[in-house]
Structure 1
Amino acid sequence: MSDRDWETPLTSNTLEQRYEIIQQLAKKAGRRTLLARDRKTEELVVVKLLSFTSDFEWDALKLFEREAKILQAISHPAIPRYLDYYELDFNNGNKGFALVQTYISGKSIEEYLKSGRSFDEVEIKQLAKAVLEILIYLHGRQPPVIHRDIKPSNILLGDRSGNSIGQVYLVDFGSVQTLAAKEGGTMTVVGTYGYMPPEQFGDRTVPASDLYSLGTTLVYLVTGTHPADLPQKDGRIQFELLTNLSLEFTQWLRRMIEPSLERRFTSAEHALQELIQPQLVDIVLSTTQQPSDSKVKLTRKADTLEILLPAKGWNFGVGFTTAFTTFYNLILVPATGIAFSPYWRISHPLIWLIVGGLWYGNYILISGVLKYLLKRVRLKISSQEIELTHEIIGWKYRHIFNASKQDVSALKLIYGYHGNRRYMHIWIGKNRYELWGDSILTEPEMEWLAQEVSSCLGIEISREPNFYIPKGD
């Protein structure tokens, strides 16, 4: 269908002798979106045209009529307002329809991204809050109204004011659905790939489906990459390593894009409440829980996950070292002193070497006992970095590593390695570090903590094959 076929018999640039066409905003098969001026009000309007072309599908008319009907029934300052709807006769003899709605001045998120603008976490939260408030209004209608096509090109931003991101608008209700319409018959599967939740592909749409689309839109903003181009694991988009978001916002965003409806936020109200007042304990995605007898201390703050492993306490190694230290100080040191007593006043290097050796031995033995009894392992993961330290009574005596979260390349649980023990290793680039072994943790504790670290970092845990290396090989 040529552009001339879209002209009405009245005039080439005016519809119904009222709407003066200024420019074309968008087009696709059988449809046009135009910017026009209403001669009666002198205001700018948007006119959507639908024509019965040779490739016309009745589903298109059904969606077009539903958009007009729903826009006529709703009223929200962040949604285009319905103005008019009428039938048209085109020059080629085809019939068509026109939907007129208010024009919203602003650029889409998509346009801002393509122009190179970036959004920080504060701005993205403002955007999320604004869209959620719109969704609360739509989903609260009777019957609930589901947009079904939330994406960067359908979210507009007005002029910024101060530290605010500006007025946020939700447009293009061409894919809209109500639950009543769904119950009345089969729905057309619509949406945009990359932003559609799994259930929408199966012709099932619920209010939480809009939350998934909003979540993937926000993922696009924080990563700069289209959601369809990001890696996935078990159907969930893996975005965490490409961002420097706070832990609380990362976990909130995970809930928004959960492929499973059961694990996604149930409503826009719930999502908004968690965004404003995060409850990290409630939204951790671990599939395991802390064993009831575990003494590990796990703390979640606004943007930090901290794991503190207790000291090993008294065991055979500590008992043996303590016994030897007692023998060393009560028997070996006095015996050595008696043996060399005639020479104590002689300034001989050998005497000082023996004395120094005795004191150094004491230091090694006593510090070893203290480490066994009091050493604790602390793993701290913040929004930007990960740190592993050893400490005694709050004093960090050994700094294992401090790295950016983006430098973490792998997590591995190794079973049956070196005498059939269990270890958890983390790779920072090409360097490997042991987080902890089973000399401190039980197997349930190991699995629980591995899930917690994996969830926080957004990295899948891999497990080494179970094998045993005999001593002497």
Structure 2
Amino acid sequence: MVERVLKERYAIQQCLGKNAGRQTLLARDLQTQELVVIKILTFSADFQWNDLKLFEREAETLQSLSHPAIPRYLDYFEFQTPKTKGLALVQSYIEAKSLAEWVESGRNFNEKEINQIAKKLLEILIYLQHQNPPVIHRDIKPSNILLAERSPLKQKHSALNKGGWLGEVYLVDFGSVQTLAAREGSTVTVVGTYGYMPPEQFGGRAVPASDLYGLGATLIYLVTGVHPAELPQEDLRINFEPKIAISLDFVEWLQWMTEPDLNSRLTTADRALKALEKPREAIPLVVQKPARSRVKITKSRKSLEIIISPYRSLLSVINDILVSAFLFFFALNAGVVFIRATFIIDDWFSRLLGVSFGFICGLVYLIFFQTIILAPISTRVRIDRQQIYLTSNWLGFVRYNLRSPSPRMAICKLRFIVNKPTASRPQPHRDIQIWAGTQEYKLITSHLTDGEINRIAGELSQWLDLPISE
């Protein structure tokens, strides 16, 4: 049992929480008469060295931070009583209820309020991620986010301006905090709360995007009133049905925040805030391609599409030009003959009509025959969350399937195939092969440059999170 007064300064008021070897106490600072929060780590039978490491890291991190929405570091000391010995971390007290307490008390949040909470927390995370080294909270959840009551003055001001003031938002409990520097070359303790912890954290890995997952899961809790661990999942993704009316953009943003795959999730709080404020601008659609490239890549967090245009030799281009010129002038002469034979007249007017008619016929040929009939047929591979497709495309439309679609989760291998030299291509060349179960999806890339082939392979490898082998 901890004494009623610690360090002859902090008078214990009540216990706020208790866990194995740890306590959180509300106390009054007898020097300033202000309420403070004291975290206690006791060297009891339940003591573990990892607890000491996390406790010391929390104290060091709080001491280095200065943000109005984060508790202030006040004191850190050892204490000893006849029955116990331990460490104490003193921080400022914030008079506010947690989001978990608000929801449990029956409060419902609308989309505008949840949006405000998201922006305020992202601003806190931006501050943490901009530290050197970046700070990762690792345990963002409803009970660690406080929402203060709206003050009468601010409530009145918001009513006059029709703004709807929500109240101040705070991020607390840095007991699981980690810096990227602390992770290098050391064993990482697995911490977090199930349902709010991203998959990579189960393996002891935490990056700035890990906190975004926790924030997204917390907001899903506000939207549904159900803890994410109790919601159904599909391919590790949280499936949620909002109990309130929210926009499709906000739903997609929450899905983006809680992507189980790190490569598909938003990476930083800066980008997450931009995506929340301007959702359409934040999603890359078309990957910039080099000039004269025969490869077009379009990707988003939900799909990847690669279109490979066919190779047209210089000889075929010259042949098309000569054929077009011949048929164009043939149409002109045929028009003159047709007009003269039809109207049985031979003057300048008939010649003008004939030339006009022939010119129109030539244009129709150029537009219809050359642009449509001889339009190149391209190869298109598309991979979304459900399936992989390999099709032959003509004028942007699917001409036919080169392979039947396969489930996205069946994709297991990505590799180069090195083809032997042939008479038409004396140098060895590579094609790209995607395996989905026993189904092969082969991209013929023999007419592409090595740079174009590597670009396709790199985009596939990154999006699928698969290495490419030979």
TM-score when normalising by structure 1 = 0.59
Please say if 1:110 is aligned against 2:113: no
> Partner residue of 2:116?
126
User: 2: distance between equivalents of 1:91 and 1:112?
Assistant: 40
CA-to-aligned-CA distance 1:180-203 (integer Å, 9 cap, x gap): 110141111000000000000001
Please say if 1:149 is aligned against 2:139: yes
> Partner residue of 1:179?
180
Specify the SS of the correspondent of 2:279: coil
Computed over aligned residues only, the root mean square deviation of the Cα atoms, in angstroms, reads: 2.6
> Partner residue of 2:239?
238
Contact 1:240 1:250 in 2 (8 A): no
Note closer, same or farther for the CA distance 1:121–1:442 as it changes in structure 2 (3 Å cut).
farther
Q: 1:99 aligns with which of 89, 93, 96?
A: 89
User: 1: distance between equivalents of 2:46 and 2:22?
Assistant: 11
Number of residues of Structure 1 aligned to a counterpart in Structure 2: 295
User: 2: distance between equivalents of 1:137 and 1:58?
Assistant: 30
Please say if 1:287 is aligned against 2:288: no
> Partner residue of 1:461?
none
Contact 2:71 2:92 in 1 (8 A): yes
Q: How does 1:117-266 map to 2 (within 5 A)?
A: 117-160=107-150, 161=155, 162=158, 163-240=164-241, 244-266=245-267
User: 2: distance between equivalents of 1:16 and 1:65?
Assistant: 19
Specify the SS of the correspondent of 1:47: strand
CA-to-aligned-CA distance 1:282-305 (integer Å, 9 cap, x gap): 485442549899xxxxxxxxxxxx
Counterpart residue type for residue 50 of structure 1? L
Note closer, same or farther for the CA distance 1:288–1:178 as it changes in structure 2 (3 Å cut).
closer
> Partner residue of 1:355?
none
% identical equivalent positions = 58
Contact 1:7 1:91 in 2 (8 A): no
Contact 1:24 1:33 in 2 (8 A): yes
User: 1: distance between equivalents of 2:135 and 2:107?
Assistant: 31
> Partner residue of 2:81?
90
Mind listing any 5+ residue stretches in structure 2 that lack a counterpart? 159-163, 286-299, 310-385, 388-396, 409-470
Counterpart residue type for residue 87 of structure 2? F
User: 2: distance between equivalents of 1:268 and 1:102?
Assistant: 25
How far the C-alpha of 1:172 sits from its partner, in A, is 0.2
Q: How does 1:288-307 map to 2 (within 5 A)?
A: 289=305
How far the C-alpha of 1:240 sits from its partner, in A, is 4.4
Please say if 1:72 is aligned against 2:88: no
How far the C-alpha of 1:245 sits from its partner, in A, is 1.8
User: 2: distance between equivalents of 1:169 and 1:241?
Assistant: 24
User: 1: distance between equivalents of 2:12 and 2:302?
Assistant: 56
Please say if 1:58 is aligned against 2:53: no
User: 2: distance between equivalents of 1:120 and 1:190?
Assistant: 31
> Partner residue of 2:344?
none
CA-to-aligned-CA distance 1:58-104 (integer Å, 9 cap, x gap): 10011001100110011000000000000011322x32000000001
Counterpart residue type for residue 84 of structure 1? D
How far the C-alpha of 1:17 sits from its partner, in A, is 1.2
User: 2: distance between equivalents of 1:443 and 1:158?
Assistant: 59
Report 1 or 2 for greater relative contact order, CA contacts < 8 Å, sequence distance ≥ 6.
1
Moved over 4 A (4+): 240-243, 288-293, 440-444
User: 1: distance between equivalents of 2:258 and 2:128?
Assistant: 20
Contact 2:110 2:244 in 1 (8 A): no
Note closer, same or farther for the CA distance 1:69–1:275 as it changes in structure 2 (3 Å cut).
same
User: 1: distance between equivalents of 2:102 and 2:227?
Assistant: 14
Note closer, same or farther for the CA distance 1:288–1:71 as it changes in structure 2 (3 Å cut).
closer
TM-score when normalising by structure 2 = 0.59
Note closer, same or farther for the CA distance 1:84–1:273 as it changes in structure 2 (3 Å cut).
same
